[in-house]
């Protein structure tokens, strides 16, 4: 019967099938059809047939027939179809395309590795998932893969109202009012905030000033909302986070995994970036400019206020929040925090000192530094001689020696002048923003 039903070519192969079926110690999730296929594939040899049936899945550590095992295109990791299906169903539902590497070895590194390898991986994955997951899950995978490709375009933006991402190609150059193809609501291409009619004809900075003076809800929310609405923009995929910059400046984008400084948008490098000779031994590092919050937050609030006053810039000291509660002594600005379960967005909750406009020390400094950078104020006068020398050393600029009869003040001013000439200030108020464009 086995000979006929299994379409085997000899009695010997049929006997091998029966011997395997009679083995009480066979450790394999195999059916009789799998055993017949194993014998046929092993040409009747018992050893080869057992090897075919006992392939170890590196995820669940169970044995399966070879025809129920799968592997990806760039590695030799072997997994059963059930484990691979379960893994990718979860990844597709809950994660992004960048998280869809091999569950065993993690290859390819979709963010940092050669993009041709990532492309090959996704092409293989598309073919495999077509027959592995249900249609709804496959369509969601296609959408996330599309977003991964689109994020590389400089005109890619995320909708401020829903989770849709799209390419914005305006009919008129400079137009900023974007309509989401999914929810049909509008977002500003430039500042990435929900579009309002009052934004028409105004730059993003002018619109923000209009809100501060005319929008009662905006005024009631106070500076905490200001910090969140002018939150962290990923320079790689343009996703905006309604989070303050205070706390750890090393930010990792949840959309594309790009690592950068939340104060100046400069990338964090884990290897030699080639900018300076010392980068080869720097390990994880970032080239923060001197007006980055990373450096300026070490100054006192009084020094930062003095810098603004000397440049004619007004700043708030009193909270404008109208809905004060018993928690008014705690800062409510949202931050990205390290938790036992990973990164999480949570309120700051630090103490709010008097005359800090309802913010804690860290976020009030962020507010003051933000004002300074929005007006392109060079903070170089805040640094003492030793700090100025460090700025020159970081930029690999020769530090001039102090002359014998030169006063400390004159030497201080000389270092400032050298820095201004050889290391011009970097504008980080709105990286890549064109302020002269006012089209809706």
Residues labelled catalytic: 248
Q: What are phi and psi of 124, to 5 degrees?
A: -65, -40
CA–CA dist 406, 385 (Å, integer): 13
**Bridge partner residues of 187 (DSSP):** 178, 194
Long-range contacts of 353-356 (CB under 8 A, 24+ apart): 355/317, 355/318, 356/301, 356/317
Place of tokens 């400032």: 416
């Amino acid at each position: 019967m086995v000979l006929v039903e299994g379409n085997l070519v000899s009695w010997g192969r049929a006997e091998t099938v029966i011997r395997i079926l009679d083995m009480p110690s066979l450790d394999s999730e195999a059916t009789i059809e799998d055993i017949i296929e194993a014998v046929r594939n092993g040409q009747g040899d018992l050893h080869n047939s057992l090897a075919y049936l006992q392939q170890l899945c590196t995820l669940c550590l169970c044995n399966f027939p070879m025809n129920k095992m799968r592997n990806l295109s760039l590695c030799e990791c072997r997994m059963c179809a059930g484990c691979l299906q379960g893994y990718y169903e979860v990844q597709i539902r809950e994660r992004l395309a960048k998280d869809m590497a091999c569950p065993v070895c993690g290859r390819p590194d979709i963010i940092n590795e050669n993009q041709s390898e990532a492309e090959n991986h996704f092409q293989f994955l598309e073919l495999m998932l077509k027959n592995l997951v249900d249609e709804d899950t496959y369509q969601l995978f296609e959408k996330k893969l599309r977003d991964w490709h689109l994020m590389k375009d400089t005109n890619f933006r995320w909708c401020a109202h829903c989770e849709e991402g799209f390419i914005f190609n305006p009919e008129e150059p400079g137009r900023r009012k974007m309509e989401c193809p999914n929810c049909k609501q509008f977002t500003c291409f430039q500042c990435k905030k929900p579009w309002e009619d009052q934004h028409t004809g105004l730059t993003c900075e002018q619109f923000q000033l209009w809100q501060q003076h005319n929008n009662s809800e905006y005024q009631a929310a106070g500076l905490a909302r200001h910090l969140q609405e002018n939150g962290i923009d990923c320079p790689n995929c343009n996703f905006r986070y309604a989070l303050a910059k205070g706390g750890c400046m090393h930010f990792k984008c949840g959309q594309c995994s790009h690592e950068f400084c939340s104060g100046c948008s400069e990338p964090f490098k884990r290897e030699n970036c080639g900018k300076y000779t010392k980068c080869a031994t720097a390990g994880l590092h970032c080239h923060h400019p001197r007006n980055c919050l990373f450096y300026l937050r070490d100054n006192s609030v009084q020094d930062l206020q003095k810098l603004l006053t000397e440049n004619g810039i007004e700043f708030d000291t009193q909270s404008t929040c109208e809905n004060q509660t018993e928690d008014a002594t705690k800062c409510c600005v949202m931050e990205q925090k390290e938790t036992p379960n990973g990164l999480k967005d949570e309120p700051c909750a630090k103490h709010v000192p008097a005359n800090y406009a309802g913010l804690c020390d860290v976020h009030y400094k962020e507010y003051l530094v933000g004002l300074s950078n929005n007006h392109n104020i060079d903070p170089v006068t805040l640094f003492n001689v030793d700090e100025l020398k460090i700025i020159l050393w970081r930029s690999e600029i020769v530090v001039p020696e102090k002359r014998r009869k030169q006063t400390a003040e004159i030497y201080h001013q000389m270092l400032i002048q050298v820095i201004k000439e050889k290391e011009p200030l970097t504008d980080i108020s709105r990286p890549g923003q064109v302020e002269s464009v006012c089209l809706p």
